Amino acid sequence: MSAETRNRQQTLTLRKQFIGSSCKLFFPEDPVKIIRAKGQYMYDENGNQYLDCINNVAQVGHCHPEVVRAAHQQNLLLNTNSRYLHDNLVDYAQRLSKTLPEKLCSFYFLNSGSEANDLALRLARQYTKHKDVIVIDHAYHGHLTSLIDISPYKFRNLDGQKEWVHVAPLPDTYRGLYRENHKDPATAYADEVKKIIDIAHQESRKFAALFVESLPSVAGQIIPPPGYFQKVAEHIHKAGGVFIADEIQVGFGRVGKHFWAFQLQGEDFIPDIVTMGKPIGNGHPVACVATTKEIAEAFSATGVEYFNTFGGNPVSCAIGLAVLDVIEKEELQTHALHVGNFFMELLNQQKAKHPLIGDIRGVGLFIGLDLVQDREKRSPASKEAEFIVTRLKEEFIMLSTDGPGRNVLKFKPPLCFNTKDAESVVDKLDMILTELEIRKT
Amino acid sequence: MSAETRNRQQTLTLRKQFIGSSCKLFFPEDPVKIIRAKGQYMYDENGNQYLDCINNVAQVGHCHPEVVRAAHQQNLLLNTNSRYLHDNLVDYAQRLSKTLPEKLCSFYFLNSGSEANDLALRLARQYTKHKDVIVIDHAYHGHLTSLIDISPYKFRNLDGQKEWVHVAPLPDTYRGLYRENHKDPATAYADEVKKIIDIAHQESRKFAALFVESLPSVAGQIIPPPGYFQKVAEHIHKAGGVFIADEIQVGFGRVGKHFWAFQLQGEDFIPDIVTMGKPIGNGHPVACVATTKEIAEAFSATGVEYFNTFGGNPVSCAIGLAVLDVIEKEELQTHALHVGNFFMELLNQQKAKHPLIGDIRGVGLFIGLDLVQDREKRSPASKEAEFIVTRLKEEFIMLSTDGPGRNVLKFKPPLCFNTKDAESVVDKLDMILTELEIRKT
């Protein structure tokens, strides 16, 4: 049966029959069936066009012709494993190395961000010979057993916190321990990490790594205060551990000013390991770990091979190269910067108008609208956020919420998202916020 | 720089510079650069044609036009995550369910066999609320932290055996505890599993799962005695655990008589969880876990979502469906049976001629040649195996060795491998074995 002959209800029935029920749908009460997409737009089976404000995987736009062409050309020629020499693998690694600090020159290719973070953990442990990990509160690093262990977002609802995992406060200057009125939140939050290390050392625990999303995303689109990474890196290095920057959600030009989100902390900051995933294949399953020669050599000193069946195959690398080409040719990083700034300006005008908007934070096309019931108390407006997302869907705009209170509207569209799209989102948002205010009075 | 302009040495130099040295090459002293492939043949940059006897990922043949077309058509239309309804996802799950016992009707899609085995472990633990796992000696279940823990092939050279991991003897009737002369090796090997459970129970340990490759592969192309799975399944069930069949290397028609290798044990045997990977996307990163409704429901009862960014995307599913179509249309399962039988016959003729061949075991196009220095002592002929593989490469035949002694020649070609290919391999093998014998005398 082809895609066109089955209606939404039939697809849903089969989904309930055959797909594990832990796999959730957006809008489970009234899910959307998407059958094609182009750029920042998706289309359902009735031809309705949705503006996609969610998909940070389709980085250069859904079904970008150059990426699709690169995949097809390589698929026609060869798709095999990396135990044979192939130029795509080395070209891709070399190309990525040019976007990173020189020190990060050893690459591993894999199939998902989760695989990348798992390898990063293995690299850190092998290099340091230590086990413990510091993570940031509410972090999410992936769906694998090892990553649920280091993801407070997940382990709090599952097996709980392992003895080798230490949770540092989220460096959130809007809702966290130290806020915008603190004279030096970077140092204050970094000192919390130092405290954790000191206490653990008293119990003779030893640190392998500090694992940080360069911009904590499921935690509520958080932008850590600049200088925080340098300071915590110093603490973790002194403790014998390494700094792992998880760029899976936020890397690859999204933040506009820089190619990598960790660079927002300052030009002097260099992580020991960087993990990348989601956007780098524009939807194709590909991911990467970049690290230093020293860490790579310590990992190989065991003599144990690292083999990933699909990792670094010529097709994945051809797609990865095409994505880099498109970002460059279409100047999507600069585009993200300009459109992001324009979007933030429009949103800030809304903040003046609608008291529900407590905070607007963003860089490039990574933007969070923190909705509050009360601007003083900053109490999360969770229900309102859900209402807005549901209403936006009726207006054919796809958006999602995040943060521990699920009250943060989360913008992370494909990078081809433009100023007209931003205007359209803000118009609809204004309308819905006004609706909400009328209902309340 | 394009693939054509860089010579082998230049590619190798860049590889050494940019790729983590744990990622090994075949024939590291003289690696091969492969630039295209078709069916069971691969081609280097000088146009040399190699017969591929290794690649159990390119199941329906390298670059199969129907698979490539399916990928391209879907790539042009849509590639997004499974939070939206899409027919490819449900079609693929329904189609796979038809190849499996009815009970295995809940599916999860992922990007690699490793991701599949990690999820299987999570499912088993959530369902049973137990932690311990029994694995078979020399098993390999993947490269992730959680899977190295259950892979004796890996953990013996790394962090060692965890207290929750129990290793059962390999049911190898040629080299193992109970051999071809034993009256009931299936029961004898299953009793060893029972013993492990009894001892662990005395220490109050509780079992989540028995994890078994349906045909242990890196352990040396082993074919467990029929009835073994039924008996160990009974033991693990009584202990409250589940039976996980890892079909990643050997499923999807390779064994000829059946679609799944676990079916070789008898029609009455049904695993609780089946994991699949490598061949199911013919090189595209896709994998799957199939389980029962009960296990799937227990997993979702936590309320925690399972989300895999790329898992079950329309492109991966379109490719998966195309692979199933080709296996059916080209009757590759039957083909594997016939060619495998023909190949085994030719190899058995060689056994009569060459004392180096100790044992030949195989089903369909999963065949192992166990080389021995002495047929009585069955001492592994490791050096000879390495010599043969190196010489075969000079004859443009790609083959690899495996087994704890690295003395087993391992045949697992694309399923389009034909009788002419088999003849050509056996001719060359005969020649090289004769060379070896002359050198020895």
Structure tokens that stand for B338 in this block: 């016939």
Which tens digits make up the pLDDT trace of B292-311? 999 999 999 988 899 999 99
**Per-residue model confidence (pLDDT) at position A1:** 41
Tell me the mean pLDDT in the region A17-22. 96
Tell me the mean pLDDT in the region B351-366. 97
Contact check, Cβ <8 Å, A80/B42: yes
A198 φ, ψ to 5°?
-60, -45
Tell me the mean pLDDT in the region A415-436. 97
For B65-330, give the CATH class: alpha beta
Q: Find residues 349-408 of chain B whose CB sits inside 8 Å of chain A.
A: none
**Per-residue model confidence (pLDDT) at position A297:** 97
Q: Which residues of A touch B3 (CB under 8 A)?
A: 86-88
Q: Find residues 118-177 of chain A whose CB sits inside 8 Å of chain B.
A: 118-119, 121-122, 143-146, 154, 157-158
pTM exceeds 0.95, yes or no: yes
**Per-residue model confidence (pLDDT) at position B159:** 81
**Per-residue model confidence (pLDDT) at position A371:** 98
Which tens digits make up the pLDDT trace of B148-189? 999 999 998 888 999 999 999 999 999 999 999 999 999 999
Q: Find residues 254-283 of chain A whose CB sits inside 8 Å of chain B.
A: 277-278, 282-283
Measured CA to CA, the distance from residue A125 to residue A114 in angstroms comes to: 17
What is A8-63+331-440's CATH number? 3.90.1150.10
Chain B residue with Cα closest to A96: B18
Supply the DSSP string of A324-367, one letter for each residue.
HHHHHHTTHHHHHHHHHHHHHHHHHHHHHH-TTEEEEEEETTEE
Judged by a CB distance cut-off of 8 A, whether residue A296 touches chain B is yes
Measured CA to CA, the distance from residue B270 to residue B263 in angstroms comes to: 8
Residue B256 gets the label, from left (phi > 0), alpha (psi -120 to 50) or beta, of left
Q: Which residues of A touch B164 (CB under 8 A)?
A: none
**Per-residue model confidence (pLDDT) at position A248:** 98
Of A2, A15, A157, the CB nearest to B304: A157
Task: Quote the DSSP letter at residue A169.
Answer: P
Flag whether pLDDT at B4 surpasses 70.
no
C-beta separation of B254 from B366 below 8 A: yes
- Residues of chain A above pLDDT 70, percent: 99
Q: What is the largest CA-CA distance in chain A?
A: 69
Contact check, Cβ <8 Å, A79/B115: no
Judged by a CB distance cut-off of 8 A, whether residue A46 touches chain B is no
Task: Quote the DSSP letter at residue A79.
Answer: -
Judged by a CB distance cut-off of 8 A, whether residue A39 touches chain B is no
Flag whether pLDDT at B146 surpasses 50.
yes
Judged by a CB distance cut-off of 8 A, whether residue A98 touches chain B is no
Flag whether pLDDT at A116 surpasses 80.
yes
For chain B, what are the domain ranges? 8-63+331-440, 65-330
Grade residue B201 by pLDDT with cuts at 50, 70 and 90.
Answer: very high
Q: Which residues of A touch B285 (CB under 8 A)?
A: 111, 284-286, 310, 316
Q: Which residue has the higher pLDDT, A159 or A185?
A: A185
Mutation site, A8, A13, A78, A126, interface B, largest B CB count within 10 A? A78
Question: Distance, in angstroms, between A179 CA and closest chain B CA?
Answer: 31
Contact check, Cβ <8 Å, B78/A34: yes
Of A36, A87, A306, the CB nearest to B6: A87
Structure tokens that stand for B216 in this block: 């242990």
Q: Within 13 Å and on the Cβ side, how many CA atoms surround B436?
A: 24
Structure tokens that stand for B2 in this block: 């394009």
**Per-residue model confidence (pLDDT) at position B156:** 87
Mutation site, A7, A42, A52, A85, interface B, largest B CB count within 10 A? A85
Q: Which residues of A touch B401 (CB under 8 A)?
A: none
**Per-residue model confidence (pLDDT) at position A4:** 56
A361 φ, ψ to 5°?
-135, 145
**Per-residue model confidence (pLDDT) at position B5:** 73
Flag whether pLDDT at A434 surpasses 70.
yes
**Per-residue model confidence (pLDDT) at position B2:** 46
Chain A residue with Cα closest to B285: A310
Chain B residue with Cα closest to A103: B18
**Per-residue model confidence (pLDDT) at position B55:** 96
Measured CA to CA, the distance from residue B27 to residue B31 in angstroms comes to: 5
Grade residue B441 by pLDDT with cuts at 50, 70 and 90.
Answer: confident
Measured CA to CA, the distance from residue B123 to residue B131 in angstroms comes to: 11
Judged by a CB distance cut-off of 8 A, whether residue B3 touches chain A is yes
Which tens digits make up the pLDDT trace of B240-266? 999 999 999 999 999 999 999 999 999
CA-closest candidate to residue B229, choices B259, B263, B180 = B263
Q: Which residues of A touch B288 (CB under 8 A)?
A: none
Tell me the mean pLDDT in the region B6-26. 96
Contact check, Cβ <8 Å, B309/A112: yes
Flag whether pLDDT at A75 surpasses 80.
yes
Per CATH, A8-63+331-440 and A65-330 having the same topology is answered no
**Per-residue model confidence (pLDDT) at position B439:** 84
Measured CA to CA, the distance from residue B121 to residue B123 in angstroms comes to: 5
Tell me the mean pLDDT in the region B213-232. 97
Tell me the mean pLDDT in the region A281-296. 98
Measured CA to CA, the distance from residue A166 to residue A133 in angstroms comes to: 6
| Average confidence score pLDDT of chain B | 96
Q: How far is CA B217 from CA A251, B220, B260, B403, in A?
A: 39, 5, 15, 8
Q: How many helices (H) and strands (E) does chain B have?
A: 13, 16
Of A17, A80, A278, the CB nearest to B283: A80
Measured CA to CA, the distance from residue B62 to residue B67 in angstroms comes to: 10
Contact check, Cβ <8 Å, B72/A71: yes
Judged by a CB distance cut-off of 8 A, whether residue A313 touches chain B is yes
Q: Which residue has the tokens 């936590």?
A: B302
Judged by a CB distance cut-off of 8 A, whether residue B82 touches chain A is yes
**Per-residue model confidence (pLDDT) at position A298:** 97
